[in-house]
Amino acid sequence: MLELLEPDVLPPAAPLQLPAPQLEPPVELEVVVVVPVAPAPLHEAAPAPLQEAVPLPPDVDDVDVSVVEPLALPDEPPPHAERPRSAVAAIASEAFVLFVIFPLLPCVVAQDPLPRRPASYASPGYGGTRVFVSRADTRSMSFGRYSAAVLFYSDIFQLTGPHVRLAERLARHGYLVLAPELYGRFEPAGTVLDFERDRQRALEDSARVRVEDADADRSALLDHLTSRSDVERVMVAGFCFGGHLAFRAAYDERVSRVACFYPTTIHTARLGASENVDTLRRAAALRAPLLIVWGSRDPHIPAEGRATIHAALDAAGARYETRSFDAEHAFMRDVGPRYDRAASDAAFDAMLAFFAASA
């Protein structure tokens, strides 16, 4: 496990009550590699060259790793280093470290000002799904268990800073949050696409995803989550392209609830390279309740498209609820002109309430 902390994360959520001083609980990020039982054949198209990737620390060469950064020590010990200590002083010093300093270490680590980025690791062979895990310190939660695990799909740019920050924010409400890469079958490990510079590449990558591959990867991830002893329920959430992937997860009986934020191409029956997909046609088979969040000024899912989705869900008798905000597509991405903080916070709170209703 590689513990990584970022200084610009949001404050801890209200449900997590920490003892004084009121410092942020640490968020641990680790990487899990989950491989489907029968991966689909490799796509013929060669992957584009890596433009921007999350760097690996130079001393990391394995998935199961703990990184400790020691303080820099002087070349020569200070003059008082060899001064003899009495037995009483030695015992007092050790007791101070054991009973005063050591209990405060989690708080000190949480305030680490060094900027960190999530590390990434290549999957062991084709067909693996690389997953970033964000979680609050279990010591701040009841019985050390998570209220639920959330499979947290990103938009077409993969695990960017805005998406990782949303994952960490959700984790501070007691959830175990797994954010998978979308393009693990053909992009290099750790690929993060820039919103402007790599926009075309992101569109091309999303157009290469096949529905059968996405379904197989999701099933493998759910297998992993349902096998964990510290997880009782599984939720799914997704944004944009990932919102469509999240919607399809509502057909799995292992999923308790699904939140979709401005999910694309559901109304056009497309998903990446796959046409005439059955996402909406088999709405009568939906197992989990849905929360669907829209931006009323979203050109990718116009009013007619939203009405098509609602009509299909109504005809199928599906359990769903919607929230609509006077906002654009991707209004929860906290960078760029589309970001609407008030709408983003309201949509995030709606997801929290929706997930909590299944408890």
What pLDDT digit, counting tens, does each position of 198-211 carry? 999 999 999 999 99
CA dihedral 252, 257, 259, 260 (to 10 degrees): 20
Question: Is residue 168 situated within a structural domain?
Answer: yes
Alpha carbon distances (Å) from 306 to 105, 158, 265, 292, 293: 50, 24, 10, 10, 10
Least confident of 126-130, 170-174, 323-327: 126-130
Question: Is residue 274 situated within a structural domain?
Answer: yes
Alpha carbon distances (Å) from 104 to 29, 108, 234, 319: 21, 6, 33, 47
The pLDDT of 287-293, averaged and rounded, is: 98
Number of domains in the chain: 1
Question: Is residue 223 situated within a structural domain?
Answer: yes
- Sequence-ordered alpha helix ranges (H) in the chain: 87-96, 102-110, 161-171, 199-206, 211-226, 241-249, 303-316, 341-356
Question: Is residue 307 situated within a structural domain?
Answer: yes
Transcribe 10-30 into DSSP letters: PPPPTT--PPSS--PPPEEEE
Helical (H) or strand (E) element with 262: none
What pLDDT digit, counting tens, does each position of 34-79 carry? 444 333 333 333 333 333 333 333 433 333 322 222 333 333 333 3
Question: Is residue 102 situated within a structural domain?
Answer: no
More confident residue, 181 or 17: 181
**pLDDT score recorded for residue 299:** 96
Bridge-based pairing state of the strands 274-275 and 270-271: antiparallel
Q: Could you give phi then psi for residue 97, rounded to 5 degrees?
A: -65, -45
Q: At what angle do helices 341-356 and 161-171 cross, to 10 degrees?
A: 40
Least confident of 120-124, 271-275, 315-319: 120-124
Transcribe 172-207 into DSSP letters: TTTEEEEEE-S-TTTSPTTB---TTTTHHHHHHHHT
CA dihedral 15, 17, 23, 29 (to 10 degrees): -60
Give the Cα separation of 305 and 217 in Å (integer): 27
What pLDDT digit, counting tens, does each position of 118-137 carry? 333 333 333 456 788 888 76
Question: Distance from CA of residue 266 to its chain's centroid?
Answer: 22
pLDDT at 339 over 70: yes
Range of the domain at 260: 27-38+114-356
Give the Cα separation of 244 and 260 in Å (integer): 7
* Domain of residue 252, CATH code: 3.40.50.1820
Omega cis (within 30) before 15: no
Question: Is residue 49 situated within a structural domain?
Answer: no
**Tokens encoding 320:** 């769903």
Name, of 104-108, 128-132, 141-145, the range with top average pLDDT. 128-132
**Tokens encoding 166:** 């949303």
Question: Is residue 31 situated within a structural domain?
Answer: yes
Least confident of 17-31, 157-171, 333-347: 17-31
Q: Could you give phi then psi for residue 272, rounded to 5 degrees?
A: 60, -125
Question: Is residue 91 situated within a structural domain?
Answer: no
